[in-house]
Structure 1
Amino acid sequence: MKLLIKILLLVPLLFFEVSAQQTVISGVVMSFETKPLKKTNISLLDFSSEKLIKSVEADKNGNYTIQFDEKGLFYLQFSGVDHNPRKVFLYILQPENIKLNVQLAGYKFPDTINTSLIIGDFNNFDFETAVEMKKETNGTFTFETITDSKTFAYEILGVEKSGRSINGTQSDYFEYDGGGDFKSIINVKNKKVKIIFDPAKLNRSASYSIVSFDRDNIFNQKMFLAFDAMETRAKQYENYMASASVTLYPVFDWSQHARILEKQITEEQFPEVKKLLLLSYLQLAVFGVKEILPSTAQLAFKEIEPSSILWSINPSFLSLAYSLGFVTEEQNYLDRVLTENKSDDVKAFVLYLKFSQHYFGNELDKAKLIKEKLLEEYPESKWTDIVKKSNLSAKLEKDYILPDFSVKSLIDTNQSYSNKTFEGKYLLIDFWASWSQECRDGMELLHKVYEKYHKNGLEILSISFDLKSEDVAVFRNGQWAMPWNHAFVKDGLNSGLAKTFQVSVIPWLILVDPNGKILGISPELSGENLLSTLGEVFPE
């Protein structure tokens, strides 16, 4: 009996010992109105790949607990029926107990829904083959089919503003779809299925998500807020770039962002939070913000170790190592990243940077070696995919003949532009996109060039790498008319044309003489260099 008592006394101690080696996150998930959701999923995702590590469901009152052994960067994704999912950024340095409560925002719908699409068991939930539902006179949408199964699972497309699939208004129960939303499941009777989607039943109340850490979890709260601010700035910047209205720029008071971050960096006591704030400062530098202090940007490379996992948040920030003076013969920060960092994505990006330096410096033999290394060690990386498209054998440089090409005119769809179109004329090919700030910044110079030299026989062909051709027309209705030749190429930097002309960044300029010989090519045509080159071609 005494032995049994001793064993029972040890059980809590053993449990505590196991739990102490794990991170335990618990809390409550509710709607914006603080009501329990019909069904809730909480998924732990790897930060870089967003692959699922562990998943749990909340109980009927919204309570949840998730335990895991892993350390590093993660998303904890909260998903609920009738609600948009919410990802919470986590940086786990050591096992800990975290209290985290979340209120989810409802889906957002247009005022009027005119069409509704359905996906489901019948098409393996394939978005490409979604079926349009029949609109009834009472405002509902219907879909009918026959199945031998006892249940029918489906989701609705084309009604939520973000374009995501959502659960329907008719369900017997719900099943998580693994992507942040839920399938509606109905029980089938007599093999007949009739789905009714009723927009009148949608919850249209205004709402937003709320993430609350317990006051004891100050570090996690600060990391989340710093990362969330980065995400918000990235979305604002993306929306600005997608808009053609340059009058939107004043909305982004980048100097205010910079001053706030500088103050936060100076005052922050948690070293890892300070590093994330420094990354945020580099984000502004990548945006091309002119109000940043070089000394503060340089501090990022001094305080964030080459081995830091934080670089995986956005490896492209490492490109600033060149302009900030951290790539020298004495000490090459990027070389240390390659040997010390454990993130494959980070190391692949550094190799991509080195490849680009050799490639655009016409050191093709060195570029080839790095390309082979990327293909061998990081074959699945997106950076390797970009490098794959580079042409290391064909010469595209000054004094070589421009490769053959043909693109359709955006102005006259019956017309195409090719080498033959511009025979006997000087041609400036401009690869660009309206979403690129660098391209926008170069508009004044291009207009100055066209106004000065078009009468002397210079033609400009701007080839857009925008997401859609309509973006070009919208942009040209703004400040910059671009009164010259225009074409649009689908897939942009991933297109065959980009590969032929070895374009991996924009803006990218190529100047060609009347015989098709290349007189100059980016980056040597950047900025004022373009004016000086044209000054030699067209002496006054």
Structure 2
Amino acid sequence: MKPLLFMILLILFLPWTLRAGDATLVSGTVKSITGHPFPKADVHICDSEDGRPDVSAQVDGKGNFTISTAFRGRAYIVITAPHHRPVGHAIFLYGQPTLAVDAVLETYLSGTHVDSIQIIGDFNRFEFDNGILMTPDQNGLYSASIPSPKKRTRYQIVIYESKGAGPRSDEVRSINGIQYDELEYDSAGDYRSVINTTAPTTTVSFDVSKLPIAQGTGYLKLMDARERDLVATMMSIEKTIYNFQNAFIAAGTGYEEHAKLHDSLNTLLDADVEAYAKQTDDFQRELMTLRMLSYVELSGSLDQQQVGKAIGFATSIPPSSIAWSAYPTALGTLLKASGGNADTRAYLERVATQNMAVDVRPAALYFLVGHAADHHDTLRQVTFFRQLVENHPYNHFTTSARLSYVPRTEIVVGKSLPAFTFPDFEQPKQSITGSSLKGKFVLIDLWATWCGPCVEERDSLLKLYRQFEGPQFQIVSISLDSDPQAVRNFRKNGPEMPWQHVHLPGVWKSPPAELFEVATLPKIIVVNPEGKIIGVTNGLKGAGVDRIVARAMGQ
């Protein structure tokens, strides 16, 4: 399977470094949709940054498995078998004695209508774009000769199956062949065939009729109601955020439409606050509170009395609760919405020491570091930063903290803007350079269509542009989206952005992100006509940006 496609399935389940504690016994049954037993099947619990399994176990001949893990936090269980599509599901591990699942795997092929087959392997680094096309004979047996310079030759088969107008790209997978001495898991949901060879080339044959074929859809079910509720809450929050951001984009520059969207969040908040009062189950109350905090994160225009209630509900959640693992960034929302008061800071400190889910501990420390930095509390900033780096060195929150709060070298007030040459998004044959922007005040806006605060600030930037529009002021928006089409769609359907634009691939590792030391979005850099940096902000909204620009322009 393409590792990138597999990672898209895992992208919502961010990486965590897990720690030992009381083990949880994960067990269950796995069946093929064909009804026949698997010659081989495996269960993997994944939590690492590259999606590779951290612990695995084999399914026995009767379809049963047991896997013991001392992990804590949100992880991902994946069940795989040769010639079957993998199934996966988010799980939450918090020291419970057992966790039961039930799974059925569908076959890779649903029919025998094959367009073409190619082979990939060590000889081409398993790349889809330059595989060798296999040739069928009159009996439908496919074959190809591949280089085999090593004693162990690894390969996979890529089948392009006819399905009406043609297969979707996400249905094209690399799977093991039927000719092998052993099978090797590829860490992306499928297997590789391994042949022991002595010749410089090896002829590989493949018979489609040997593959299991059946109609039906695979699934993986969590048998524990608490697990299902945690996953449902996580998915509900992600859906709310996704839908709100898309609706905001679709609303364009219509202020009435934007107001309606914020009103809809007020309605949701009111309903959850009312339901909270009627709910008697403490754990369900915790999950409701997480949903409330997602509304608070999306809008600064909510009823402050209701927001105050949500803050109170949140700080009444036991600091050790696994519920925070469903939405760790809510801790940052809580700290911000409360104004960073002493009680909330103390609560986050308790979370950072008492919560065993290590996707939660670094989140609490990260937001405490940020709050201390914003308030120039160097002692607290250093203390929390040291705890974060020493106890969670490989966590993504730690990476962000290093980028955000370790002193940077180039993008600081008083230094000259580094030299750059980026293609103009609208006119790729033309370039935007640092030297071409000299002689005017420039606001460099680093943003992305998937960034809620960025999208919300488009209207404020437009007002700012209209206020200072002229030869002495320019805005350059630099998108960190992975897909340039997302930017085009936003430009077409979203708020007006009548200034220069840049997009380069790479997201956080793109040239602009690295040059301008981007750790969080939105990020604003204000430059004077001499090319000197006079303002740098991370996550600063409307009025704050206005003040920086107005002061720079002498107003």
TM-score range, shorter chain: 0.7 to 0.9
Letter in 1 for 2:439: G
**Which of these residues, 179, 186, 190, is aligned with residue 182 of structure 1?**
190
Paired position in structure 1 for 2:203: 193
Long gaps (5+) in structure 1: 1-20, 214-219
Paired position in structure 2 for 1:211: 221
Change (3 A) 1:424 1:366: farther
Change (3 A) 1:533 1:183: closer
Q: Look up the SS of the partner of 1:516 in the other structure.
A: coil
Paired with 1:394 and 1:364, the residues of 2 have a C-alpha distance of 19
Q: Does structure 2 retain, via aligned residues, the 8 Å contact 1:407–1:487?
A: no
Aligned length: 508
Paired position in structure 1 for 2:146: 145
Change (3 A) 1:189 1:476: same
Change (3 A) 1:428 1:146: closer
Q: Give the deviation of 1:264 after TM superposition.
A: 7.0
Paired position in structure 2 for 1:55: 57
Q: Give the deviation of 1:421 after TM superposition.
A: 1.2
Bigger relative contact order (CA 8 A; separation at least 6): 2
**Which of these residues, 382, 385, 388, is aligned with residue 399 of structure 2?**
385
Q: Give the deviation of 1:43 after TM superposition.
A: 3.5
**Which of these residues, 217, 224, 230, is aligned with residue 226 of structure 1?**
230
Paired position in structure 2 for 1:64: 64
Paired position in structure 1 for 2:131: 132
Paired position in structure 2 for 1:428: 443
Q: Does structure 2 retain, via aligned residues, the 8 Å contact 1:42–1:55?
A: yes
Change (3 A) 1:153 1:208: same
Paired with 1:210 and 1:229, the residues of 2 have a C-alpha distance of 18
Report Cα offsets for 1:143-164 as digits up to 9, x if no partner.
Answer: 4225488986533469674488
Shifted more, 249-258 versus 404-413: the winner is 249-258
Letter in 2 for 1:246: A
**Which of these residues, 318, 340, 350, is aligned with residue 364 of structure 2?**
350
Q: Does structure 2 retain, via aligned residues, the 8 Å contact 1:85–1:180?
A: no
Shifted more, 437-446 versus 370-379: the winner is 370-379
Q: Look up the SS of the partner of 1:462 in the other structure.
A: strand
**Which of these residues, 438, 459, 464, is aligned with residue 449 of structure 1?**
464
Shifted more, 364-373 versus 311-320: the winner is 364-373
Paired with 1:260 and 1:237, the residues of 2 have a C-alpha distance of 17
Paired position in structure 2 for 1:14: none
Letter in 1 for 2:293: L
Paired position in structure 2 for 1:3: none
Q: Give the deviation of 1:64 after TM superposition.
A: 0.7
Report Cα offsets for 1:309-365 as digits up to 9, x if no partner.
Answer: 443444322112313428433562122223333445433333322333344456678
Q: Give the deviation of 1:538 after TM superposition.
A: 6.1
Determine if the alignment matches structure 1 residue 167 to structure 2 residue 175. Answer: yes
Q: Does structure 2 retain, via aligned residues, the 8 Å contact 1:41–1:176?
A: no
Q: Look up the SS of the partner of 1:408 in the other structure.
A: strand
Paired position in structure 2 for 1:318: 331
Letter in 1 for 2:286: K
Paired position in structure 2 for 1:304: 317
Letter in 2 for 1:461: V
Change (3 A) 1:221 1:459: same
Change (3 A) 1:92 1:388: closer
Paired with 1:379 and 1:389, the residues of 2 have a C-alpha distance of 13
Change (3 A) 1:499 1:146: closer
Report Cα offsets for 1:109-163 as digits up to 9, x if no partner.
Answer: 999988866444556xx55687413165899975422548898653346967448
Q: Does structure 2 retain, via aligned residues, the 8 Å contact 1:319–1:353?
A: yes
Report Cα offsets for 1:232-267 as digits up to 9, x if no partner.
Answer: 653685698699963699999867876786677566
Change (3 A) 1:446 1:46: closer
Q: Does structure 2 retain, via aligned residues, the 8 Å contact 1:110–1:161?
A: no
Paired with 1:254 and 1:174, the residues of 2 have a C-alpha distance of 55
Q: Give the deviation of 1:89 after TM superposition.
A: 1.9
Larger Rg: 1
Paired with 1:108 and 1:67, the residues of 2 have a C-alpha distance of 29
Change (3 A) 1:280 1:80: farther
Q: Give the deviation of 1:55 after TM superposition.
A: 1.0
Q: Does structure 1 retain, via aligned residues, the 8 Å contact 2:293–2:310?
A: yes
Paired position in structure 1 for 2:155: 154
Report Cα offsets for 1:372-430 as digits up to 9, x if no partner.
Answer: 554444332322323333551648566x3442231312234444333321222121211
Paired position in structure 2 for 1:11: none
Change (3 A) 1:38 1:200: closer
Paired position in structure 1 for 2:455: 440
Q: Does structure 2 retain, via aligned residues, the 8 Å contact 1:117–1:130?
A: no
Q: Give the deviation of 1:492 after TM superposition.
A: 4.0
Q: Does structure 1 retain, via aligned residues, the 8 Å contact 2:181–2:193?
A: yes
In the TM superposition, 1:463-502 aligns within 5 A as 463-494=478-509, 497-498=512-513, 501-502=516-517
Aligned-residue RMSD, C-alpha: 4.9
Change (3 A) 1:359 1:532: closer
Q: Does structure 2 retain, via aligned residues, the 8 Å contact 1:428–1:461?
A: yes
Paired position in structure 2 for 1:83: 85
Shifted more, 439-448 versus 327-336: the winner is 327-336
Q: Give the deviation of 1:487 after TM superposition.
A: 1.9
Q: Look up the SS of the partner of 2:519 in the other structure.
A: coil
Q: Give the deviation of 1:504 after TM superposition.
A: 2.5
Paired position in structure 2 for 1:18: none
Determine if the alignment matches structure 1 residue 341 to structure 2 residue 355. Answer: yes
